[in-house]
Amino acid sequence: MKDSTKKLVVDLVLLGLTNLAAYYAIRAILQGNDPQRQKRLDAKKTSGDKLARLGKNVQLNEYEEQIATELILPHQIQETFDSIGGLESIISSLQESVIAPLCYPELFAGAAGKNGLLGAPKGVLLFGPPGTGKTMLAKALAKESGATFINMHVSTLTNKWFGESNKLVAGLFSLAQKLQPAIIFIDEIDSFMRERSGADHEVTGMMKAEFMTLWDGLTSSSDRIVVLGATNRPTAIDAAILRRMPKRYPVKLPDAVQRGKILTIMLAGVNLDPKFDMSAVIKRTEGFSGSEIKETCRNAAMQPVREYLRSGKGRQSVEVLRGAGTAEEKAELAGKQSRPQSRPLRNSDFFVVDGLNTNYAAPGTIEQDPIDN
C-alpha cells in the first residue's frame, strides 16, 4: 500500500513538472514568434527613461508605455512665447484661460471654480493657413506651462488587432491623468477627427467614439488635462469634436507689424549692413507665412557664407578641413568661426536662392523689382 501511494505521488509530481515545462516551452515559443514583443520591450525602455527624466515615479501598463514614447521632454522643446512674433493677443489669452487654471488650480478654487466655470477648457483648437506657427505655439504653451506634453501621432493609436486601438486610446487618457497637468497635442487633427460618415472603417469609428467618450470623462475639477489640436482645415473636423474644443484661436497670416516682429526675432544678433532697410523686407514679405519668412531669412544669411565659400580663401579653407591641411592649420581655422560672416547682411541678399536672383514673390502675388541698398 505504501509503495502504491509513493508511486502515485511520484507520478503526480512528474505530471506537474511535465505540464509546467510544457507551459514555459509553449510560452517561450509564442513570445519568440510574437511580432509585437520587441516593440513592447522598446516601448517599456523608452517610457522608463522618459519618466525618469521627468522625475515621475508611476506604474504603467503596456498600453500606457506605448503612449509614453510620445512624451516630449522639456529640454527637447526650444520654443518659448518670446521666440514667437506677432501672436501676442493669442499668447495672452492662452496664458489667462489655459496655463493659469491648468497649473494653478488653487487660484480658481472659489464657487465659480467649483462649478467648473473657471477651470481650464477641455479642448483648444489652433487653426489657420500652413506655416503660421500653430505647432510652434503648441510647443511654447507646453514649455511655458511646465505641463507634460504628449505629442500624439495617430499612427501610435492604430493597431491591426481588433480592440487594441481602443485600449491604446484608453491608455492615452489614463497616462495623461497619471502625469497631469498634461497637454495632449494632435497636429493635423482633421485627419483623425474628420467628419464622420458611413464610409468610415468600423475600427476607426470605434476609436473615435472611445476617444470622445473618455474626453467627455474629463469633468472632474481634479483633472488638469487639455486636448490641443492644430489644423489648417477646421471645416473638415467633426461637429462633435468642435463642441469639445470651446477655445478656438485663428492663427492668420502675419500683417506688416507682425512681420516686423518676426523679422526682428529672426535677425537678432545678425550682423546687418548700416544701410539695411527693414521696412523694405517687411513690404516684400506681404502674404508670407511665418515659416516662409524664416526660410527667406535663412537664405539671406547664407549669401555671405556662399560668397566666402566661392572665394579663393573659402576654397582653401575647405581643402584644409577636407584633410589637405595640417593639424595646426585646422586648429587655426576652427578659431576663426566668424570669418564666413565677415560681410554684413544686405537687402540684396533677400529673395536670392542659391546665388540666383529669382525675384521671388509670395505665392499668388505679382513679382516686384529686386530690393537693394
Q: Mean pLDDT over residues 210-231, rounded?
A: 78
Q: Return the pLDDT at 87.
A: 84
Pick from 147-161, 177-191, 244-258: least confident: 147-161
Residue 201: pLDDT above 70?
no
Task: Give the span between the Cα atoms of 222 and 166, in whole angstroms.
Answer: 24
Q: Return the pLDDT at 321.
A: 56
Residue 110: pLDDT above 70?
no
Nearest to 90 by CA among 227, 244, 230: 230
- pLDDT tens profile 114-165: 556 676 788 889 998 888 888 888 888 888 888 888 888 877 777 777 777 8
Could you tell me which residues come within 8 angstroms of residue 87 by beta carbon, excluding any fewer than 6 positions away?
Answer: 133, 137, 251, 258
pLDDT tier at 219, thresholds 50, 70, 90? low
Q: Return the pLDDT at 366.
A: 33
Could you tell me which residues come within 8 angstroms of residue 248 by beta carbon, excluding any fewer than 6 positions away?
Answer: 124, 125, 127, 234, 242
Q: Return the pLDDT at 371.
A: 44
More confident residue, 220 or 283: 283
Q: Return the pLDDT at 367.
A: 40
Residue 204: pLDDT above 60?
yes
Q: Return the pLDDT at 222.
A: 63
Helices 290-310, 256-266: crossing angle, 10 deg rounding: 40
Residue 311: pLDDT above 60?
yes
How many CB atoms are closer than 10 A to CB 362? 18
Whole-Å CA distances, 321 to 304, 313, 334: 19, 12, 9
Class assignment of domain 43-250? alpha beta
The SS3 of residue 73 is coil
Residue 365: pLDDT above 50?
no
Pick from 196-200, 204-208, 233-237, 339-343: least confident: 339-343
Residue 109: pLDDT above 60?
yes
Q: Mean pLDDT over residues 210-226, rounded?
A: 75
Q: Return the pLDDT at 36.
A: 62
Cell numbers at residue 118, please?
A: 473657471
Highest mean pLDDT among 13-22, 65-74, 314-323 belongs to 65-74
Average pLDDT, the chain: 77
More confident residue, 65 or 25: 65
Cell 509503495, located at residue: 3
**Structural domain boundaries of the chain?**
43-250, 256-357
Domain 256-357, classified CATH 1.10.8.60, yes or no: yes
Q: Return the pLDDT at 48.
A: 80
Q: Return the pLDDT at 364.
A: 39
Nearest to 124 by CA among 114, 113, 138, 112: 138
Q: Return the pLDDT at 55.
A: 80
Q: Return the pLDDT at 2.
A: 62
Q: Return the pLDDT at 325.
A: 53
pLDDT tier at 368, thresholds 50, 70, 90? very low
Q: What is the DSSP string of 177-209?
A: HHT-SEEEEEETGGGTSBPP-TTS-HHHHHHHH
Q: Return the pLDDT at 354.
A: 58
Q: Return the pLDDT at 336.
A: 55
Could you tell me which residues come within 8 angstroms of residue 297 by beta carbon, excluding any fewer than 6 positions away?
Answer: 263, 266, 267, 350
